[in-house]
Amino acid sequence: AQKVTQAQTEISVVEKEDVTLDCVYETRDTTYYLFWYKQPPSGELVFLIRRNSFDEQNEISGRYSWNFQKSTSSFNFTITASQVVDSAVYFCALSDAYVTYKYIFGTGTRLKVLA
Amino acid sequence: EAQVTQNPRYLITVTGKKLTVTCSQNMNHEYMSWYRQDPGLGLRQIYYSMNVEVTDKGDVPEGYKVSRKEKRNFPLILESPSPNQTSLYFCASSPGTGGDTQYFGPGTRLTVL
């Protein structure tokens, strides 16, 4: 069965600190996709990144970076020099490519960035 | 503008009164899906559709029905709502199946009294 675990329920940091949000997944499929979404206080779900299981290169987008490690089944998300606007709930998600067509979300991590 | 729309955005109803939440996308996406979001549980997939007339159960389908008669629309039907269906509901669509990026609607907050 597929599963996504975000063990950090809530994290508080002071502005300009770096913060890493953890995501651990389980799947038996060899081809799958991982995602991160952001849900700001306004409630909408904003897509951040999609990564396929064959691409283990880390990705950087501005202050955001993602570390994908198949060996530990993790897809962690780091925000560098956090800002108050980063305060949100962040969800990690998993989807297999050919088998169930389902999407499995983690329970989310609430990030509070304090000024 | 490419978007997923949901209606209504807010709904308060009573136990047993049938209701439909509509979802529509204008991106010609094949895949559409419904989720519910509850505190501490994240998003859980209710139903999904891979194309017109093709639907399948997600992880929490009990108490819900869906239909996909047209590619752009994917309504969620609660035939006899109960208080445990009080939740925030999201509709999403993606170009295809197989792990494509999903784009979400704005959400529908449903309260069942």
For residue A51 the two structure tokens come to 């990564």
What does the pLDDT read at residue A3?
Answer: 94
| Burial group, residue A11, by CB count within 10 angstroms (0-12, 13-18, 19+) | middle
Q: Do A105 and B102 touch (CB under 8 A)?
A: no
Distances (CA, A) of B93 to A6, A10, A78, A82, B48: 24, 28, 27, 30, 9
What does the pLDDT read at residue A8?
Answer: 97
What does the pLDDT read at residue B86?
Answer: 98
What does the pLDDT read at residue A66?
Answer: 95
What does the pLDDT read at residue A101?
Answer: 81
Residue A99 has pLDDT above 80, yes or no: no
Q: Do B44 and A108 touch (CB under 8 A)?
A: no
For residue B96 the two structure tokens come to 């295809």
What does the pLDDT read at residue A100?
Answer: 73
CB A36 within 8 A of CB A61: no
Report the C-alpha gap between A19 and A89 in whole angstroms: 13
Work out the pLDDT band at A71, boundaries 50, 70, 90.
Answer: very high
Q: Kindly list the residues from chain B whose CB atom is less than 8 angstroms away from the CB atom of residue A37.
A: 104
User: pLDDT truncated to tens, each residue of chain B (113 aa)?
Assistant: 889 999 999 999 999 999 999 999 999 999 999 999 999 999 999 999 999 999 999 999 999 999 999 999 999 999 999 999 999 999 999 998 768 899 999 999 999 99
Average pLDDT over residues A76-94: 97
Q: How many helices (H) and strands (E) does chain B have?
A: 0, 11
Looking at chain A, which residue has its C-alpha nearest residue B39? A107
How many angstroms away from the CA of B80 is the closest CA of chain A?
Answer: 26
Cβ contacts of residue B37 below 8 Å, gap of 6+? B43, B44, B87, B88, B89, B90, B107
Q: Do B45 and A103 touch (CB under 8 A)?
A: yes
